[in-house]
Amino acid sequence: MEPIYRYFRPHEWDYLFPEKGTGTIRFTPITETNDPHEGKVDLLGVARDKHDLMRLKDVRHIDGLSNVIDLVSNLPEQNIKIALNTYGKMFYDELRKRRPHFGIFSATSNNKSTVMWEHYGVKHTGFMVEFNASHPLFNAPHGLENVFGTLQKVNYSTEMPKKYLTDLIFNPTEVYCKKHNDWKYEDEVRIIYGLDHEVFLDGSIKGCTPIKIDLIKSVTFGCRCSWEKLACQIQRNPMYDKIQLFKASIEEDSYTLSYEPLPSNYCQFHKV
């Protein structure tokens, strides 16, 4: 499994690596992401046909859907498509109201993006974390058809996905893992959880889950990051002894960055 990374703003350090206690990461509710088109589709209707409609028989999380299934399934075949399209918009609006119940953790396979260092790393003053892609947190299938809880590559397109309501319910990754080409530079890998999952903490901020020790593999400090104190905070805490530390620097003869490992005993010789 290829490595996954995420760029962080400087102030987010205290969430991941607090002086005391356990750090957290957040699965952002879909309605709070930086893409206002997140999870939108060009809706074609409730279902492709009567057979597709019957898949919804046991789905109860959209109010009134069961009654419509019973009504539509008893119509003559030639009227079913008209009815499915008529009801589609109504239930799509209802389903979109429930989007805050899902959370996204976004990462990337691109660990040398100067653009993401600029945007998410706040002009290279932040840091980048390499996560353990094989960790149980990223391999916990759940939800209908077990499509949540696993890492998914985001696909990019100029066209909004054309989908039926059944697609949103039974294969939501086809919707929530598609974005406009403008975002392609991110090479995004994401994982979606239902925010009622047991991994999440109770609290005023939805979607926070404690960081397990083996979740983080390395931390790279941006080329403009004030990193010395942060590095010593990691090296002096035995809980983080497996985390590798790197420092980004600018290549003099190309538009690239290089990452140099920090000595594991750096803080023994530097008082900060």
Rounded Cα distance between 109 and 87, Å, is 40
pLDDT at 176: 85
194 DSSP β-pair partners: 102
As given in the structure block, the two tokens for residue 189 are 């890998």
pLDDT at 50: 72
pLDDT at 171: 78
Please answer whether residues 247 and 127 qualify as being in contact, where contact means their C-beta atoms are separated by less than 8 angstroms: no
Identify the segments of the chain with pLDDT beneath 70. 56-100, 144-145, 203-204, 269-272
Q: Among positive and negative, which fits the CA dihedral 120, 111, 270, 232?
A: positive
pLDDT at 198: 85
Rounded Cα distance between 59 and 73, Å, is 15
pLDDT at 212: 87
